[in-house]
């Protein structure tokens, strides 16, 4: 935990001031003189925002920094899952090394926290989670990593997975994941009953991948709602992707969103460009907690993406058809405060007493900062500079 | 027109070789020794592809390099048009200066040719076209610019525009533009009859903006097809955006595409992220000429975009849900050879005798080059190096 005087910054693109940091927390915003021996940085009037939040990614999957992975396979979800599970070791996707690269990239681009789903299956047991835990420890002063125990290959269709999820939660995974109870698992009641039982037993929240679109996804959402009520898990469930909310049925989507708001379900979006996605503006009107994520980047699933939440903000903003400054500021909210609200991060923000986790942004306004492509001038974690001009103080392995 | 020996390049990511350039044309691919006094560049095994083509943009509109333009206006097409027309001078969007910035940015990122729509309306007459002409002259050794006389504010709804278009074509605009004959002009027969009359009179091709979606856009397309046949303009008409081809009616879209192929109509896509767009893979199967474009970048219409056709390739590829190496290579085709086919550029390619217009790309394969974000190492126009590491040899004004 560090002391730092950051001079001449504009919090949320407002008036310029200095930020005084003591023991890794914001001690004051105003005008300060440097004290003897205190680290000082001049931001030259740059915008400062709290650390960006990647609230939905897969640190264990990327081929970032590895030789190019040729993808000549059909775009079938089940096929992608099985190919990855059976070939990731041979391809050389070491979960520790690759999660280091991915997480360091995110930190260098201004992120302070990551929620990462990590695959758990009967072929790998908990070994991939262990690889990412190693990364979490190695980077504990650089970026915070929360791990979702994620049954990528399914729960009911892969006997033995439930026991592994149970073990992962016992060992400290903070969140329980799930995936397409209909589409992948072929048994929605089976998967969801087990997920809620495990979550209640371990006292952890749930974050479920729901690619299921339109009526199928809406059906699964209704099953999730029923179990939230039955288990008193209001405020403790997140739905990732939630493509069903992108369907072209204004009234039905409205009813789903009403229930989402009522049960305080969080939504995670990646702005998936080629499918129908939830409208972040409609979710904002309903006061639903919404975070953003890079999802997988350059992995066996697909070639796109980079470890950069501002790049992801662009994808989400363009997909949502947003154009005004106010709308762009909301996109920035989704990839920062929105994600923090989903992850329930304590001490997040730029107020006195908050954690000194933030990033400088280039640009005149928040909207300008979202579309600008320049590297982040400075990233601070726990009051310490951890990246300059897009380059972290630790090297990628 | 210049001589150059480019050593150690991989044409289209294939085997490494040298490219010998004489008088601005490719004289040979093979293994060459430098001659006395000849410029030599070593590409270190980088991929080389022909110059990228921005076949749909608006050089006269961008605020690139200007103070941030705050957008607090509703997202209504007609409103955007009127706001821009009435305020562009006051905002300081000088068509010459701004088109210089935009075009130099494209060149620095590997583009060799631009097709730019330039606004013509009764408020500005031909002054915006004149500004871009000045840019074309100033950059004639850097990048080729083709100008579409574009009635942004409408034709029938703005009396006096027809005469201006007529004058613009007489003065040398290479292509005649048009816009939403129903949506904007409220008189599809009126606008289309006049466009085809003007095009035939001046012997120029047509490139019409068609944002009209679904049934409305399909109706307008049918009117266009009728006039292509009646005027013998097969192979001389392009439809930009063509959102109607993105509608969810497989059979009807198939019939439209059949007619598009039969009449050799070209399609220009920008991969517009928030609306339904034509499938570039379906158009490829039908052997339709398809090019790509950045469209407007950071203008009064919207904040997104940058002068970079590889960035646009990403937008188009992600929007189309493409993932395999073969698909990504096709996206690269759309923003290069595809655009050249739409613009009917002579001597385009990497064969002996072709213009020495090309860019180096980073990455191991063509697919890798599409997703990589590094600056282009070297850009060559007419056999001369015009940019290195993303920086052009001419400064932006």
Q: What would the pLDDT profile of B40-62 be if each residue is shown by its tens digit?
A: 999 999 999 999 999 999 999 99
Question: Per-residue pLDDT tens for B155-189?
Answer: 999 999 999 999 999 999 999 999 999 999 999 99
Mark whether B39 and B179 lie in a shared domain: no
Residue A395: inside a domain? no
| CB–CB contact A370 B303 (8 Å) | yes
Closest-CA distance of chain B to residue A320, Å: 6
Q: Are A297 and A304 in contact (CB under 8 A)?
A: yes
Closest-CA distance of chain A to residue B320, Å: 6
CATH number (domain holding residue B205): 3.20.20.140
Going by pLDDT thresholds of 50, 70 and 90, the confidence category of residue B75 is confident
Which tokens go with B148?
């579409």
Q: Which of A68, A72, A301 sits opposite B363 (nearest CB)?
A: A68
CATH number (domain holding residue B17): 2.30.40.10
| CB–CB contact B326 A72 (8 Å) | yes
Mark whether B104 and B172 lie in a shared domain: yes
Question: Distance of CA B165 to CAs B128, B178, B199, B280, B386, Å?
Answer: 13, 10, 10, 31, 34
Q: Which of A304, A367, A368 sits opposite B371 (nearest CB)?
A: A304
Residue B397: inside a domain? no
Which of A300, A301, A314, A323 to mutate: most B Cβ within 10 Å?
A323
**What does the alpha-carbon distance between residue A127 and residue A250 come to, in Å, rounded to a whole number?**
44
Mark whether A325 and A369 lie in a shared domain: no
Taking the Cβ of residue A249 and every Cβ of chain B, the question of whether any pair is shorter than 8 Å is answered with: no
Residue B122: inside a domain? yes
Residue B301: inside a domain? yes
DSSP 8-state secondary structure symbol assigned to residue A155: S
| CB–CB contact A275 B303 (8 Å) | no
Mark whether B32 and B151 lie in a shared domain: no
Taking the Cβ of residue A328 and every Cβ of chain B, the question of whether any pair is shorter than 8 Å is answered with: yes
Residue A397: inside a domain? no
pLDDT at B74: 85
* Percent share of chain B, pLDDT over 90: 97
Mark whether A133 and A240 lie in a shared domain: yes
User: Is residue B1 over pLDDT 80?
Assistant: no
Question: Per-residue pLDDT tens for B384-395?
Answer: 999 999 999 999
Going by pLDDT thresholds of 50, 70 and 90, the confidence category of residue B355 is very high
Residue B228: inside a domain? yes
**What does the alpha-carbon distance between residue B278 and residue B273 come to, in Å, rounded to a whole number?**
12
**What does the alpha-carbon distance between residue A180 and residue A247 come to, in Å, rounded to a whole number?**
17
Question: Per-residue pLDDT tens for B275-290?
Answer: 999 999 999 999 999 9
Bridge partners, A41 (sequence order): A6
Mark whether B334 and B225 lie in a shared domain: yes
Question: Which helix (H) or strand (E) element contains residue B319?
Answer: helix B309-319
Calculated CA dihedral for residues B110, B319, B214, B258, nearest 10 degrees: 70
pLDDT digit string (tens) for chain A, length 397 residues: 789 999 999 999 999 999 999 999 999 999 999 888 899 999 999 999 999 999 999 999 999 999 999 999 987 889 999 999 999 999 999 999 999 999 999 999 999 999 999 999 999 999 999 999 999 999 999 999 999 999 999 999 999 999 999 999 999 999 999 999 999 999 999 999 999 999 999 999 999 999 999 999 999 999 999 999 999 999 999 999 999 999 999 999 999 999 999 999 999 999 999 999 999 999 999 999 999 999 999 999 999 999 999 999 999 999 999 999 999 999 999 999 999 999 999 999 999 999 999 999 999 999 999 999 899 999 999 999 999 999 999 999 9
Taking the Cβ of residue B306 and every Cβ of chain A, the question of whether any pair is shorter than 8 Å is answered with: yes
Mark whether B289 and B380 lie in a shared domain: no
Q: What mean pLDDT comes out for the span B370-384?
A: 96
Cβ contacts of B363 on chain A, cutoff 8 Å: 68
Which tokens go with A365?
């306004």
Mark whether B266 and B202 lie in a shared domain: yes
Q: Are A177 and A208 in contact (CB under 8 A)?
A: yes
Which tokens go with B230?
């009646």
Taking the Cβ of residue A320 and every Cβ of chain B, the question of whether any pair is shorter than 8 Å is answered with: yes
Domain count, chain A: 2
**What does the alpha-carbon distance between residue B99 and residue B314 come to, in Å, rounded to a whole number?**
23
Taking the Cβ of residue A236 and every Cβ of chain B, the question of whether any pair is shorter than 8 Å is answered with: no
Q: What angle do CA A224, A227, A229 make, to 5 degrees?
A: 110
Going by pLDDT thresholds of 50, 70 and 90, the confidence category of residue B196 is very high
Question: Which helix (H) or strand (E) element contains residue A166?
Answer: helix A161-171
| CB–CB contact B364 A67 (8 Å) | yes
Q: By three-state DSSP, how is residue A306 classified?
A: coil
Quick one: closest CA in A to B368, which residue?
A68
Mark whether A320 and A362 lie in a shared domain: no
Residue A396: inside a domain? no
**What does the alpha-carbon distance between residue B366 and residue B79 come to, in Å, rounded to a whole number?**
41
Mark whether B262 and B354 lie in a shared domain: no
The range of the structural domain enclosing residue B163 comes to: 52-343
**What does the alpha-carbon distance between residue A58 and residue A103 come to, in Å, rounded to a whole number?**
10
Q: Which of A306, A317, A321 sits opposite B373 (nearest CB)?
A: A306
Neighbours of B250 (CB within 10 A): 8
């Amino acid at each position: 935990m560090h002391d730092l005087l950051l001079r001449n910054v504009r919090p949320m693109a407002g008036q310029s001031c200095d930020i005084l940091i003591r023991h890794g927390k914001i001690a004051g915003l105003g005008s300060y003189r440097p004290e003897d021996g205190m680290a000082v940085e001049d931001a030259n009037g740059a915008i400062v925002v709290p650390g960006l939040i990647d609230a939905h990614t897969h640190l264990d999957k990327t081929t970032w920094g590895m030789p190019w992975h040729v993808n000549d396979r059909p775009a079938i979800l089940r096929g992608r899952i099985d190919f990855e599970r059976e070939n990731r070791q041979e391809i050389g996707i070491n979960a520790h090394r690759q999660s280091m690269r991915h997480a360091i990239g995110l930190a260098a681009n201004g992120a302070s926290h990551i929620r990462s789903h990590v695959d758990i299956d009967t072929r790998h047991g908990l070994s991939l989670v262990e690889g990412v835990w190693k990364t979490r420890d190695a980077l504990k002063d650089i970026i915070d990593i929360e791990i979702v125990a994620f049954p990528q290959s399914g729960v009911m269709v892969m006997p033995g997975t439930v026991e592994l999820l149970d073990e992962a939660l016992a060992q400290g995974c903070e969140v329980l994941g799930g995936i397409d109870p209909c589409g992948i698992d072929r048994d929605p009641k089976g998967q969801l009953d087990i997920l809620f039982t495990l979550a209640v037993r371990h006292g952890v929240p749930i974050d479920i991948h729901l690619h299921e679109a339109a009526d199928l996804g809406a059906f699964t959402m209704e099953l999730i709602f029923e179990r939230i009520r039955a288990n008193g898990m209001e405020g403790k469930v997140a739905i990732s992707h939630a493509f069903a909310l992108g369907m072209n049925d204004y009234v039905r989507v409205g009813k789903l969103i009403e229930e989402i708001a009522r049960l305080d379900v969080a939504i995670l979006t990646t702005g998936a460009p080629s499918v129908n996605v939830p409208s972040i503006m409609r979710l904002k009107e309903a006061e639903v907690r919404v975070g953003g994520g890079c999802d997988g980047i350059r992995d066996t699933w697909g070639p796109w993406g980079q470890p950069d939440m501002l790049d992801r903000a662009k994808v989400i903003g363009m997909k949502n058809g947003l154009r005004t400054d106010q709308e762009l500021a909301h996109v920035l909210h989704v990839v920062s405060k929105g994600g923090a609200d989903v992850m329930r991060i304590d001490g997040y923000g730029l107020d006195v007493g908050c954690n000194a986790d933030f990033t400088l942004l280039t640009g005149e306004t928040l909207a300008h900062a979202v579309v600008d492509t320049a590297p982040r001038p400075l990233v601070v974690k726990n009051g310490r500079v951890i990246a300059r001009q897009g380059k972290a103080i630790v090297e990628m392995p």
